[in-house]
Amino acid sequence: MTTASCRKCRDEVIWWAFFINIGQTTYKGVLGALSGSAALIADAMHSGADVVATMVTMFSVKVSDKPADDHYPFGYGNIQFIASSIVGLILFFGAMYLMYDSTMQIIAGNTESPSAFAVLGAIVSIATNELMFRYQNCVGRQNNSPAIIANAWDNRSDALSSVAVLIGIVAAVAGFPIADRLAAIGVGILVAKIGIELNVDAIGGLMDSSVENDVLVDAYHIAKESQHVHGVHYIRGRNVGEDVHLDINIYVDADLKVFESDLIADGIRRKIEAEVDHVRDVHVGVTPVRVAA
């Protein structure tokens, strides 16, 4: 259940991510340059892309809060899927560049071992990004926000890439200098994979893929167990950003008056919106049926 505390975290978490990513870009970039670690510099570039991604998320969450109007009668929520896709594209194309640059450096023979001091940068990055992933993922799930969830996975991808960086730096310091460049390529592969997955999820949201089955089941039981309802004809739903819209058709006794059917439908709508998380708009239609005596 989404609480007031969850909504408060929603407004704060993106700013935390923004400033932490700026800090990570700075310290990993400086430490990578001082230690001579190509993998750590590549990781700093990844964090730099995270800053841009977080700005996109900020914008999308702000816009998605706008109420529906004549131009967008279902609201602005789907902009969060667009933002999720943009974050994914930033990650994917940034990863392509990292892999290309590291491959060219290996071909050119630029495989010097970095300073052991670079290990510190990778360890701090792993811890910081994993904590930010857990925080943002919790906030995103509780608020059903695809943009914040995408930003959380951006931090998880940074944590995973820093693990690859750490392995590469340790191996390079131990006497295998090419490992530092190979780690940078490994970073690129992990980041590209997450970028593709974010776009697949975003496309599913924009194409009105069905909502989670638990939401449909809960709404179905509320409708079916309501007084004077003889069954549920169909139920379907779609995600509109953070909100879930449902379309339900119920069977009612054909002898009921129109206003009585309307009251039943309205009662079901109110109960579903009150009891099922993230559901903000429910349309309940009625189909009259003859009930055997």
pLDDT in tens, the chain (293 residues): 556 667 778 778 878 888 988 998 898 888 888 888 877 887 787 788 778 777 877 787 788 778 777 777 777 777 878 887 887 888 788 888 878 888 888 888 777 777 887 888 889 989 998 999 999 998 888 887 877 888 888 788 788 878 888 888 888 888 888 887 887 787 788 778 878 888 887 887 777 666 778 888 999 999 999 888 889 999 988 877 777 889 999 999 888 888 889 999 999 999 998 888 878 889 999 999 876 65
Amino acid at 223: A
By C-alpha distance, which of 134, 128, 139 is closest to 153? 134
The 3-state DSSP composition of the chain as helix, strand, coil percent (nearest 5) reads 70, 10, 20
Name the DSSP class of 219. Answer: H
Angstrom distance (rounded) from CA 79 to CA 86: 10
Burial environment of residue 228 by CB neighbours within 10 A (0 to 12, 13 to 18, 19 or more): middle
User: How much is the pLDDT for 197?
Assistant: 84
User: How much is the pLDDT for 266?
Assistant: 92
Q: How many CB atoms lie within 10 A of CB 15?
A: 11
Could you tell me the pTM of the whole model? Answer: 0.62
At 115, list the tokens: 């300073």
- Distances in Å between the alpha carbon of 171 and those of 32, 37, 269, 272? 16, 12, 61, 56
Q: In what order do the strands lie in the sheet with 243-253?
A: 229-240, 243-253, 279-289
Distance of CA 123 to the CA centre of its chain: 25
Q: Which residues pair with 240 in a beta bridge?
A: 243
